[in-house]
Amino acid sequence: MSRGFGIQAVFSFLLLVDVLLVYGLIEQKEIYGKYNHQRENDVDNSYGKDVVGSFPFLMPLVSPKTPDLYLCTPIKVDPTTTYYIVGYNPNATMNTAHHMLLYGCGEPGTPKSTWNCGEMAQNSQEEQASPCGPHSHSQILYAWARDAPRLGLPPGVGFKVGKDSPTKYLVLQVHYAHVQKFQDGTTDDSGVFIEYTEKPLKKLAGTLLLGTGGSIPPMAIEHMETACEINEKKVLHPFAYRVHTHGLGKVVSGYRVRSNDRGVQEWTQLGKRDPLTPQMFYNVTNDEPIESGDHVAVRCTMKSNRHRVTEVGPTNEHEMCNFYLMYYVDHGETLDMKYCFSQGAPTYYWSNPDTGLHNIPHIEASTL
């Protein structure tokens, strides 16, 4: 199992989820007062007394039996109060969980306590549904992989959930790549301790996920690329980024692209990393604002030593190219655009004439 914190009490609490008597953060604080107290030293004290506490959002002692299974579990946020999430403390190890995502949803994908929520088509006889309902609000609030440590947001910045937010539910998704350890009935409580405050925060956090579809040819180096124009009248202040690939990824880089007074696009790096290092959120390379009319562009450099084509998909036999950009806005709401995906190679490249991109820099893939 992953690191446990009072498993019997955790299980008793999560029985509430099983019967859909899920409580918001206030009720959980009361039920979980002992655990909030135990975790006080883990909460970023820059928020001082404004931090209500942290509560555990964990898998309800599941025992996955299907390799590369994506499991989701929901919790309803108290609809009478607005909360601001200011930090995430993971309760997981890469020996158990390949990666975890925390979604903010208008409603969950199903009314069940757990369900198969693989986002891409899989050959499975299990009933499947997306993390969020098909027509509901959906955004990614947090992502974790490869033993990444705790993430604290900058002072005064938080993800708004609950009463005055379209996020009415939180949904935890855990990808179990390998399930041998569960064959004897062993259970898992991977998840995250969510740190939050009720103090209103003006700097609202958002996450933009950029990624691709596509495929990688055998025995070749391929560039998986995507880009989107920011066309909303908002000023984004980027502060953190995270990259994610599977085994073929060598380097992932993200850029702000802005036209200067001469109409020439200037590419400013937001972040660049080897995706096989801990897949945590890192400080951006450059925190200059991103404004309407700018593009955000991402490249994943893949190197295949396989004698077959590798498609983008959910399992270890597939690949992924993802770049998560965390930002905040000083006033108003965050971007309506939550996702930016392209078809990927061999169909989509930055150099295609219809992308609106030019002056593309030569990007060294120093880890190849």
Do 244 and 99 form a contact (C-beta atoms < 8 A)?
Answer: yes
**Is 224 part of the annotated catalytic residue set?**
no
**Catalytic annotation, pick one of 223, 237, 246, 295:** 246
**Is 137 part of the annotated catalytic residue set?**
no
- The reply to whether 178 sits in an annotated binding site is no
**Is 173 part of the annotated catalytic residue set?**
yes
Distance (Å, whole) CA 201 – CA 328: 11
- The reply to whether 223 sits in an annotated binding site is no
**Catalytic annotation, pick one of 98, 223, 237, 295:** 98
**Is 246 part of the annotated catalytic residue set?**
yes
Distance (Å, whole) CA 192 – CA 80: 23
**Is 1 part of the annotated catalytic residue set?**
no
Do 338 and 138 form a contact (C-beta atoms < 8 A)?
Answer: yes
**Catalytic annotation, pick one of 28, 59, 139, 175:** 175
Distance (Å, whole) CA 179 – CA 164: 40
Q: What is the DSSP string of 260-326?
A: -TTS-EEEEEEEEE-TTS----EE-S----B-TT-EEEEEEEEE---SS-EEB-SSTTSB-EEEEEE
CA-CA-CA-CA torsion for 86, 335, 144, 125, nearest 10 degrees? 130
**Is 175 part of the annotated catalytic residue set?**
yes
**Position 85: which residue type?**
I
Distance (Å, whole) CA 305 – CA 182: 31
**Is 358 part of the annotated catalytic residue set?**
no
**Catalytic annotation, pick one of 223, 237, 244, 295:** 244
Do 214 and 224 form a contact (C-beta atoms < 8 A)?
Answer: yes
Q: Looking at 19-94, list the stretches that DSSP marks H as alpha helix, in order from N- to C-terminal side.
A: 25-31, 33-38
Distance (Å, whole) CA 297 – CA 355: 10
Instruction: For residue 295, list its beta bridge partners.
Output: 229, 257
309 is written with which tokens? 């084509």
**Catalytic annotation, pick one of 224, 280, 302, 320:** 320
- The reply to whether 99 sits in an annotated binding site is yes
- The reply to whether 135 sits in an annotated binding site is no
Which residue ranges are tagged as binding site? 98-99, 175, 244, 246, 320
Annotated binding site for Cu(2+): 98-99, 175, 244, 246, 320
Please list the active-site residues.
98-99, 173, 175, 244, 246, 320
